[in-house]
A and B are shown apart, each in its own frame.
Chain A
């Protein structure tokens, strides 16, 4: 049986790892290399590495940094941040990314998804969707590390990504990011019901039970978490034990 995946997310900014709240208030949390090595030793399911300054700074991915980190990473690695062209994707795959996450570019020019899927296969085309709940209860998708409102709703963006050949969706709730108050179940369910693709739920993990909720009720295929692993004693391994006891298929 396919296992649910627990994926630590590493956000980096100017070589150090950071973590914020609501895509803001960034705190430094240490060396990326050290963290990757630890997760590697602990047999983590998969790792997400996002460069949160690249698009804002108008630059591409930091290939040298990814290269160095990927060399220590014998687990699946998804890399994002500043991916704007097919060449960026190619370069990231060459330095050791297994999947490439596209956010701003995937929404501004969805044909990039098609190009990536055709050339490198759908399995490496991850479309990252950052959504914020509006006062009327609807959701809107933001780009540029959550700073720019697109006026699009996440279901439309997800369906379009699927049509263009994306292989997976990384769905982040900006409202819950760093708040450790649980994933946005409505948002997750909305998207998992709209597409056939696996969806990685992100933003809001505070406890193992939050993960169980979004996997069970939100039908996510994987859970990403950052603050919970950086700032609390909770670990991916314990998360798996907890979920396993609840009857979820986890990798031992």
Chain B
């Protein structure tokens, strides 16, 4: 069983993701300590929360450096969920500008509602994988996943886009570069489709 570190940023629901990983056959443990990451075969950075707050917490525990070492250095498969996806960007713009982990050249921007749309984007919406991303293996394109967010990551490079979702003019709902994966939706709350994504991540 794959040991999966769930990074505790101090501001979110860790129980759901831990339970979901367990259900999908992984062996999750929660850590807020750099040493904890060294024992991991997979790293998940979950998240609800606010960008500046979460980055500040990662930094105060030395987790920003430790995560970069494990993910970019040791190439441990990484999955950022919701805010956890956004944190891999170069820059966050929620409540002022904050530097992110910077693993993917991207900025995090507020969604712009189109006529008839409301922000936050809350609920079930389609995910259209654009590339042959291993996370979406075995899933029909256009399945619904659960979203709850106001900001979204905008990668500078098209090749980092793994999926898009038709809302607010279309936004990037998954990114992928090497061993770094990020999903804007909540796989742990997206029932069957979500569990397939988690199983695919565990099978990498």
Contact = CB atoms under 8 A, between A and B. Distances in A.
Q: Give the interface residue-count category, chain B.
A: 35 or more
Contacts of B20: 74
B123 A222 contact: yes
Interface string B127-159: 000000000000000001010111000000000
A76 B50 contact: no
B125 A2 contact: yes
B62 interface: no
Nearest to B149: A123
A168 B83 contact: no
A81 B161 CA distance: 40
B13 A97 contact: yes
Contacts of B19: 71, 74, 96
A93 interface: yes
Contacts of B48: 93, 98, 120-121, 123-124
Contacts of A197: 118-120
Most interface-central of A75, A197, A222 (chain B CB within 10 A): A75
A217 to B, nearest CB: 14
B189 A168 contact: no
A204 B20 CA distance: 34
Contacts of B148: 76, 98-99, 123-124, 167
A65 interface: no
A251 interface: yes
A76 B185 CA distance: 11
Contacts of A124: 48, 148
Given A96-B13, A251-B124, 19 more contacts: A2-B117, A3-B144, A67-B15, A71-B15, A74-B16, A74-B19, A74-B191, A75-B146, A76-B189, A94-B14, A98-B189, A120-B11, A120-B49, A121-B83, A123-B122, A124-B148, A167-B120, A221-B118, A252-B144
Pairs of residues from A and B, 5 with the lowest C-beta to C-beta distance, nearest first: A96-B15, A123-B148, A251-B124, A3-B124, A251-B144
7 contacts: A74-B191, A75-B146, A120-B48, A122-B150, A123-B149, A167-B148, A198-B120
